[in-house]
Structure 1
């Protein structure tokens, strides 16, 4: 949606990356592009992002969302580690935590305590659009 003056309204700030140990970036890059095209400010952290880097970037950039991708079942465990690290720091409710990637499911997101799951870029936009009104900072 455009704000007055024809400028796309910024819907929120997202830090996004592929978790540690995973070099796959095509899906993540497509998600980033879709989110940007739909009014989100996206900071793509790249691939093989250490758990602490997601949190550091979110804090530095004033992010609303931490989004993590994993293409391998062996690396999706790092999504859990990020959520646990956020929980241990008392930050798990500060950010909307979203996970995705080929082996990732809604059941996995629920199990690790992520707030959202998206199976593809279109769904990522829908999930964030549906939750953004309730974000508290």
Structure 2
């Protein structure tokens, strides 16, 4: 089977919530010796990114998103034991979590998986994270990035609060702040002074690498 077609079918299995098909196709990718992280990124995560877009367009609602995430997790359970994590000297350190008041962590978990497989040192705070914890943990571990997500409009302002707290402590310049989630937009990121906004997990990894490289060069 053509690899790109296989990835497309895996993505469609996630979107269509077809658990058995996801199992069959993920096992097929392993039989073809396709790197697990590539199947996760190009198949499962790409499919979930589309689910996120469908949610934003109100074609899918939370029950559909959660069912799609179940299909995604079934595929991840098959592939994760086969991930070959990059070994990196002085890895990029990322603190990541879902802001206080929100317990929806699908997107955050995808970003965590992709950043870990890219060799980043990831400190996952989980969901419904007290805002001060983002800063306290970042300071404790010497993080380079603070990444926050939410799927709820009512908790979006917590992201601005974290940035304002960084400014109040005069440590804003120590960290790159990246945000994401269903209701988040580039305009919102610009308005609150975030360094980056990304739609999906694959883009998040690319942006972190790009910003880290710029920081080193500057």
Unaligned runs of 5+ in 1: 1-5
Determine if the alignment matches structure 1 residue 102 to structure 2 residue 182: yes
Task: Return the alpha-carbon distance in structure 2 between the equivalents of residues 65 and 106 of structure 1.
Answer: 18
What's the TM-score once normalised by structure 2's chain length? 0.58
**Residues 88, 39 of structure 1: CA spacing in aligned structure 2 closer, same or farther, 3 A cutoff?**
same
- Between structures 1 and 2, the one with greater strand share: 1
CA-to-aligned-CA distance 1:59-101 (integer Å, 9 cap, x gap): 0011000000011011111011101111111111100100000
> How many aligned positions are there?
131
Residue in structure 2 matched with residue 65 of structure 1 by the alignment: 145
**How much has 1:39 moved relative to structure 2?**
1.4
Residue in structure 1 matched with residue 194 of structure 2 by the alignment: 114
**How much has 1:26 moved relative to structure 2?**
1.1
Residue in structure 2 matched with residue 9 of structure 1 by the alignment: 88
Kindly name which structure, 1 or 2, has the bigger radius of gyration based on alpha carbons.
2
Task: Return the alpha-carbon distance in structure 2 between the equivalents of residues 129 and 96 of structure 1.
Answer: 12
The answer to whether the 8 Å contact 1:64/1:135 transfers is no
Determine if the alignment matches structure 1 residue 21 to structure 2 residue 101: yes
4+ residue runs over 3 A deviation: none
Structure 1 counterpart SS, 2:123: strand
**How much has 1:134 moved relative to structure 2?**
2.8
Task: Return the alpha-carbon distance in structure 1 between the equivalents of residues 110 and 209 of structure 2.
Answer: 17
**How much has 1:7 moved relative to structure 2?**
5.8
Bigger RCO of structures 1 and 2 (CA < 8 A, at least 6 apart) = 1
- Between structures 1 and 2, the one with greater helix share: 2
Give the alignment's Cα RMSD to 1 decimal. 1.4
The answer to whether the 8 Å contact 2:198/2:204 transfers is yes
Determine if the alignment matches structure 1 residue 77 to structure 2 residue 157: yes
Task: Return the alpha-carbon distance in structure 1 between the equivalents of residues 215 and 207 of structure 2.
Answer: 13
Task: Return the alpha-carbon distance in structure 2 between the equivalents of residues 135 and 72 of structure 1.
Answer: 31
Structure 2 counterpart SS, 1:22: coil
Structure 2 counterpart SS, 1:68: strand
The answer to whether the 8 Å contact 1:34/1:121 transfers is yes
**How much has 1:8 moved relative to structure 2?**
1.5
